[in-house]
Amino acid sequence: METGEKLKQALAAAFEILNGGNLSRVGIEVFLESIIHYGEGRILEALKQCLRDNKRLTPAAIIQRIEAQDGRPGPEEAWALVSRLKDEELSGTLTDEMAAAVHVSRSLHGDPVAARMAFLECYRAECMAARRAQRPIHWFFSSGTNRAYRADALREAVARAQITASQAQLIDPSFAQGETAKKVLTNRTGEPQPIKKLLAALPLGKKEG
């Protein structure tokens, strides 16, 4: 589908305001070619953010703001989250992309640096693929063995809209009654779930640099 005229006009206007010059029609086409897979709506929102930030307009600036819109943690934040959840007592939420990266990095037994690098590379690739496919973020709950920590983590996950109250109630009956979730990747027995076993196998060490 041909890129809409509204988007082209918005890009040209934002470029003129932020960069102090005119962007030719060929320039507009080249500019948009690298970002159009994100969808016109998301690009327009990113353009508005660029105007509010009053920073130079580039494709990278657009991409940075689009990626910040979807709620996926940055690579380093994602690594910190999975590193924390290696502790079997602790509970928390992970995204599908984080889980996929754990599967890759866990095979590097005994090499924390290589494990971290493999995780970051895989996570970036998974996030890029999800964004290109315009898949919304999906969180699931990793249940640890400590029930008090679990209750706190459930309250935080529901407050952040990462899981629903009905999913939380399936994990912990003390939550309000609600429709039973069809798929929640956890259990109610206090035993580590499969993702916990993957996390436990993840070699961790000090961050590089």
Residue 53 lies in a domain: yes
Q: Is the pLDDT of residue 184 over 70?
A: no
Does the predicted TM-score (pTM) go above 0.85? no
Q: Are residues 113 and 47 in the same domain?
A: no
Using 50, 70 and 90 to split pLDDT, how confident is the model at 100? very high
- Distance CA(88)–CA(172), nearest Å, equals 17
pLDDT digits (tens, 9 = 90+) for 146-168: 988 888 899 899 999 999 988 99
| Tokens 């690594």 -> residue | 79
Q: Are strands 92-95 and 139-142 parallel, antiparallel or unpaired?
A: antiparallel
- Three-class secondary structure assignment of the chain: CCCCHHHHHHHHHHHHHHHCCCCCHHHHHHHHHCCHHHCHHHHHHHHHHHHHHCCCCCHHHHHHHHHHHCCCCCHHHHHHHHHHCCCCCCCEEEEHHHHHHHHHHCCCCCCHHHHHHHHHHHHHHHHHHHHHCCCCCCEEEECCCCHHHHHHHHHHHHHCCCCCHHHHHHHCCCCCCCCCCCCCCCCCCCCCCHHHHHHHCCCCCCCCC
pLDDT digits (tens, 9 = 90+) for 26-66: 999 999 998 988 888 889 999 999 999 998 999 999 988 88
pLDDT more than 70, % of the chain: 81
Question: Which residues have a Cβ under 8 Å from the Cβ of 15 and sit 6 or more positions away?
Answer: 21, 22, 23, 31, 57
Q: What's the pLDDT score for residue 162?
A: 92
Q: Are residues 61 and 79 in the same domain?
A: no
Q: What's the pLDDT score for residue 47?
A: 94
Q: Is the pLDDT of residue 180 over 60?
A: no
pLDDT digits (tens, 9 = 90+) for 55-73: 899 999 998 888 888 889 9
Residue 209 lies in a domain: no
C-alpha distances (whole Å) from 124 to each of 105, 121, 127 are 13, 5, 5
- Distance CA(202)–CA(77), nearest Å, equals 16
Q: What's the pLDDT score for residue 106?
A: 82
Q: Are residues 88 and 61 in the same domain?
A: no
Structure tokens at 169: 């109630």
Q: Residue 192 belongs to what domain range?
A: 75-200
Contact 76, 94 (CB under 8 A): no
Residue 64 lies in a domain: yes
Q: Are residues 91 and 23 in the same domain?
A: no
Q: Are residues 55 and 83 in the same domain?
A: no
pLDDT digits (tens, 9 = 90+) for 14-25: 999 999 889 999
pLDDT digits (tens, 9 = 90+) for 112-153: 899 999 999 999 999 988 887 878 899 999 988 898 888 889
- Distance CA(79)–CA(122), nearest Å, equals 11
Residue 207 lies in a domain: no
Q: What's the pLDDT score for residue 50?
A: 93
Contact 142, 191 (CB under 8 A): no
